[in-house]
Amino acid sequence: MDHGLKIANWNVHGINARARRTAIRSLIDTTDASVVCLQETKMELVYSSVVLEMLGSEFDDYVYLPAIGTRGGILLAWKSTVVSISDPEFTAHTLSAKVCTPGGTPWWITVVYGPQTDADKIAFLQELREVRAACPGPWLLCGDFNLIYRDGDKNNSNLNRRMIGRFRRVLNDLALKEIYLNGRRYTWSNGQSPPTLVHLDRFFCTTDWEESHAECHLRCLASVVSDHSPLLLDCSPVPASHRRFRFEEFWLRLDGFHDTVTAAWNSPHQLELEDGG
């Protein structure tokens, strides 16, 4: 278990302005995060001086996926005194690397910044399948997906149900479980009145990653410099009362699932009542 490991994820809408980097630094300083995942950096080249100014001297190592001009871009930065991150892998819309902490089991992290057009989104979903093939074992997937997989992830009925179905199928095929987001239903707003609100920023994980981080806790942070909410994942144990049970559709396809449910359903249960009440 990765005691004390915290991961901050944020679509920052650009790090190419000093005022924005200062605002990012202010927020990151309050999180005690050891790993920072930023999307939409809007920078083709990310220099160490920029990372130093934006995150502080403790974040002494990083890798990045360059923006195309001022479009896109992903940055993964970390404190090497706390965590070791290596073996970076890149696709058009993802950045993956292997994570190791002292005494912990190695696992993969993939940071995504999903595209805007439907054609690119279809290609992006195929990328996720290819990334999984290249990153075996425990896997954590986070970022701005620019996709939703449930009607309730948006506050109006303007939905692309075909794309919702495609995203849901990929999640099921890859056996990914969403980490429950505490404190907020949506992570992006268009800032209009009335606003369109969407849950675009997420953390997913595989079952073996969850088994090693069963009590992790994900929450939103406040932001005034981006239309996306920053997310903070605390991998340390928290009281069990924070856990939420969620049924995952892919369980239905696991070997022995129906036999296990049938056996549990038919097993005898004794209810002990106090004072005969």
Name residue 90's beta-bridge partners.
95
The DSSP result for 198-230, as a single string, is E--EEEEE-HHHHHHSTT-EEEE---SS-SB--
Q: CB of 46 within 8 A of CB of 62?
A: yes
Supply the pLDDT for residue 246. Answer: 62
CB atoms within 10 A of CB 121: 19
Distance CA 157, CA 270 (A): 46
Q: What is the pLDDT of residues 19-60, one digit of tens each?
A: 999 999 999 999 999 999 999 999 999 999 999 999 999 999
What are the tokens at 185? 């239903």
Nearest to 113 by CA among 79, 75, 78, 149: 75
Instruction: Tell me the domain boundaries of the chain.
Output: 6-262
Supply the pLDDT for residue 3. Answer: 77
Residues across the chain:
277
- Into which CATH architecture does domain 6-262 fall? 4-Layer Sandwich (3.60)
Does an H or E element contain 23, and which? Answer: helix 18-29
Q: What is the mean pLDDT of each run of 10 residues along the chain (277 residues)?
A: 88 94 95 97 97 97 95 97 97 97 92 97 98 97 98 96 98 97 93 94 97 93 89 76 59 72 68 43
Nearest to 72 by CA among 97, 51, 90, 93: 93
Single pTM value for the model: 0.85
